[in-house]
Amino acid sequence: MLIHVTTLGDYLAKHNATPAVKSVIATLTHTCEEISELLKRGALADILGEAGNQNVQGEEQKKLDVIANELLLNALANNKYCAGVASEELDHATAANCGGEVLVLFDPLDGSSNIDINMAVGTIFSVLPYNNQGQTATDDDFLQKGTEQLAAGYVLYGTSTILALTTGDGVVMFSYDPNLRQFILIKDRVNVPVDTKEYAINASNYRYWLPPMQRYIDECNAGEAGVRGKDFNMRWIAAMVGDVHRILTRGGLFSYPFDTKFANKAGKLRLMYEANPMSFIIEQAGGASSDALNRILDIKPTSIHQRVPVVLGAKNEVEYIKKLHVEMG
Please give the residue whose beta carbon sits closest to Mn ion in the complex: 110
Is 300 in contact with 145 (CB distance < 8 Å)? Answer: yes
> What is the Cα 150 distance to its own chain's centre?
15
β-strand 82-87 against 102-110: which pairing, if any?
parallel
Toward Mn ion, which CB reaches closer, 121 or 150? Answer: 121
Residue 198 binding partner per list ligand AHG, Mn ion, none, with a CB distance cut-off of 5 to 8 Å that depends on partner kind = none
Rounded-to-integer distance, Cα 51 and Cα 315, Å: 40
Q: Of Mn ion, ligand AHG, none, which one does residue 268 interact with (CB within 5 to 8 Å by kind)?
A: ligand AHG
Residue from 239, 244, 285, 288 binding ligand AHG (CB under 6 A): 239
Please answer whether residues 114 and 89 qualify as being in contact, where contact means their C-beta atoms are separated by less than 8 angstroms: no
CB of 269: closest distance to Mn ion in angstroms? 7
Question: % helix / strand / coil in the chain, to the nearest 5?
Answer: 40, 25, 35
Binder to ligand AHG among 138, 160, 202, 294 (CB under 6 A)? 202
- Would you give the binding string for ligand AHG spanning residues 49-88, x where CB under 6 A is met? ---------------------------------------x
Given the complex with Mn ion, which of 12 and 28 has the nearer CB atom?
28
**110 contributes a contact to Mn ion by CB under 5 A:** yes
Q: Which residue is nearest to ligand AHG (CB)?
A: 240
Cβ neighbours of 110 (radius 10 Å): 30
Cβ proximity to ligand AHG: between 175 and 205 the closer is 205
Q: Which residues on neighbouring strands pair with residue 307, listed in sequence order?
A: 270
Determine if 240 is a binding residue for ligand AHG (CB under 6 A).
yes
Q: Are 274 and 124 in contact (CB under 8 A)?
A: yes
Site for Mn ion in 61-100 (CB under 5 A): 88
Longest dimension (CA), the chain: 63
Q: What is the DSSP letter of 223?
A: G
Binding to Mn ion, residues 167-206 (CB under 5 A): none
Nearest to 267 by CA among 326, 210, 197: 210
Considering only residues 85 to 104 of the shown chain, the ones binding ligand AHG according to CB under 6 A are 88
Question: Which segments are annotated as binding site?
Answer: 88, 107, 109-113, 202, 268, 274
Binding site per annotation, positions for substrate: 110-113, 202, 268
Annotated binding site for Mg(2+): 88, 107, 109-110, 274
How far apart are the C-alpha atoms of 6 and 238, rounded to whole Å?
A: 32
Q: How far is the CB of 109 from Mn ion (least distance, A)?
A: 5
- Which residue number, 54 or 135, has a Cβ lying nearer to ligand AHG? 54
In the sheet that holds 94-95, the strands lie side by side as 94-95, 82-87, 102-110, 121-129, 151-157, 161-166, 171-177, 182-187
Site for Mn ion, rule CB under 5 A: 88, 107, 109-110
Site for ligand AHG, rule CB under 6 A: 88, 107, 110-113, 202, 238-240, 256, 268
